[in-house]
Structure 1
């Protein structure tokens, strides 16, 4: 069904869901109306229908939130669920060793989308959150995904503009190209103060049975020289996740020497 201006009802519903952000997860109907450009009566009607279906819910103060039904359906059909399940034991192990932030990110458009994060109170500052995003050029996870991602995406990002977070953020095509080359050469990203001066990100690639990079496992730790000792821990965990993604029989059917699923591959 389409409205008089040609926009489908589904498109309007999508705009309502997109009005919510990690920072503002509860909104009034008036705020939803302003953010979506929908007339307040239209927004109110659609919100009421979504609440009746369980896709949205209302607080005691009448503010609206994403409902549990939406989370249930999204989680049930999540294509990255097997990736998250494979990664969680290794992330927990890294978290026990490092005692800071451990996170799992995937490529989504021109950004890195974070599927999971483990943390502790008092850990170093970290701008990421579950279901949050960061630009590829500024985060350790994003740099791993960009370095091993499609060439056309890499060229698109290299053209900029590139947002500057600190004086260490690569903001020119030449700087970013050099960083990506280093990531490919050494097998991991080491980002000292790229997003915040006090934080250092270390990320390593997670590969599927064919050797394609499908995710990045990263830690965010205090920006100090001794953080380099964490690199082997992160790389070993990422290789462990890669092996966990391999289905039974994969080595004989698909793996080539050195691939994560090949018997000759060892953890770093």
Structure 2
């Protein structure tokens, strides 16, 4: 169950709204009963809350179903937040060029608490899609998140791995010892290849973007299927990605050598 949000002068209704939106950030689709259990509210109160959010465009009810998903207003807020993020504001033109070169989905993810969030994404090829969209937050143990997690302080890693780890697919790693070994591999190689850890049948290539203090709070990912990214193409794509990471790092003010 979601931990209560401290009131500290915030109205109860306002706190419930924030808790509900936070729940949608963790899981994309909620029914009334499921969300009521998550928030510790009655079904009547939860239904009223969802109707209020829907009237203002923050959630939408799926056609012909009782389930709700995030609405267009949240997507607009996510895009504004991405524009205010340093790496999001400087990286977009580089993403466009990389998407044109690779004809795959390319994205930038940044650290947010114990999770990571997609702040920008470009898709040129009409037949290449991904379930992760701008504004989605995902556990650091899955997919691109491991490249962020690998460069964090050991105490931070311990905190992340002691929490329950969501299994997005059968391929999502969830054993702390296994994940720690993966983090060692990321640090040794400076990159990660994800095989269906978040989206079944997807293959994602991820590299770190080093900030002005050589810290890693953002990563660059190219996502497609294994059919479109066979092993023979991985080296070529990582080379293009490394150039893009270096260009973004330079635009962020990093004047040190950044290639791991």
TM-score, normalised relative to structure 1:
0.70
Match of 1:244 in 2: 251
Match of 1:12 in 2: 16
The CA deviation at 1:186 is 1.3
| Alignment equivalent of 1:88, drawn from 85, 92, 95 | 92
Report if aligned partners of 2:207, 2:220 keep a CA contact under 8 Å in 1: yes
- Secondary structure at the aligned position of 1:118 is classed as strand
Give the stretch that moved more between structures: 211-220 or 104-113. 104-113
How far apart, in 2, do the equivalents of 1:204 and 1:42 lie? Answer: 41
1:161-240 map, 5 Å: 161-162=164-165, 163=167, 165-167=169-171, 169-196=172-199, 198-223=201-226, 224-228=230-234, 229-240=236-247
Match of 1:261 in 2: 255
| Alignment equivalent of 2:127, drawn from 109, 118, 122 | 122
How far apart, in 1, do the equivalents of 2:198 and 2:23 lie? Answer: 25
- Secondary structure at the aligned position of 2:186 is classed as helix
Do the aligned partners of residues 132 and 8 (structure 1) sit closer, same or farther apart at CA in structure 2, a change above 3 Å counting? same
How far apart, in 2, do the equivalents of 1:42 and 1:174 lie? Answer: 39
The CA deviation at 1:9 is 3.4
Do the aligned partners of residues 34 and 199 (structure 1) sit closer, same or farther apart at CA in structure 2, a change above 3 Å counting? closer
Structure 2 gaps of 5+ residues are 1-6
1:205-254 Cα deviation digits (max 9, x unpaired): 112211111211111132221231211111211111111111xxxxxxxx
- Secondary structure at the aligned position of 2:243 is classed as helix
Do the aligned partners of residues 208 and 197 (structure 1) sit closer, same or farther apart at CA in structure 2, a change above 3 Å counting? same
Do the aligned partners of residues 210 and 179 (structure 1) sit closer, same or farther apart at CA in structure 2, a change above 3 Å counting? same
Do the aligned partners of residues 215 and 31 (structure 1) sit closer, same or farther apart at CA in structure 2, a change above 3 Å counting? same
The CA deviation at 1:84 is 1.0
Matched residue pairs, number? 241
Match of 2:152 in 1: 149
- Secondary structure at the aligned position of 1:217 is classed as strand
Report if aligned partners of 2:106, 2:221 keep a CA contact under 8 Å in 1: yes
Report if aligned partners of 2:205, 2:222 keep a CA contact under 8 Å in 1: yes
How far apart, in 2, do the equivalents of 1:122 and 1:49 lie? Answer: 33
Give the stretch that moved more between structures: 229-238 or 7-16. 7-16
The CA deviation at 1:164 is 6.8
Structure 1 gaps of 5+ residues are 247-259
Higher alpha-carbon Rg: 1
- Secondary structure at the aligned position of 1:165 is classed as coil
